[in-house]
Amino acid sequence: MTAKRTGEPSPESVARANRQRLAREEGAQALADAERLAIEVRLNMQRLRALREARLAEETSARMAPPPAKKKRSKGSAG
């Protein structure tokens, strides 16, 4: 029983090739989505880091600044 090879692929091989093609396309899409998400996360981390550093710099400069000087009252004659 030798199978005769024809030029046409069998329905099973067509289905398998279609599944493989879909898997490749979905895999590429999943990788692109993961990369896009990773970029968004890094950008958000960068934004939050800049905000935190600005807040810390402001707190540090406020802490290092001398307290406002009180106005001295002149000892003038009252009333």
pLDDT given at position 2 = 56
47 within some domain? yes
3 within some domain? no
Alpha helices in the chain, H assignment, sequence order: 11-64
79 within some domain? no
Structural domain count of the chain? 1
Distance CA(50)–CA(58), nearest Å, equals 12
37 within some domain? yes
pLDDT mean for each 10 residues of the chain (79 residues): 72 96 97 98 98 95 77 68
In which domain, by residue range, is 46 found? 12-63
**Residue 28 to residues 17, 35, 38, Cα–Cα distance (Å):** 17, 11, 15
74 within some domain? no
Distance CA(14)–CA(8), nearest Å, equals 10
23 within some domain? yes
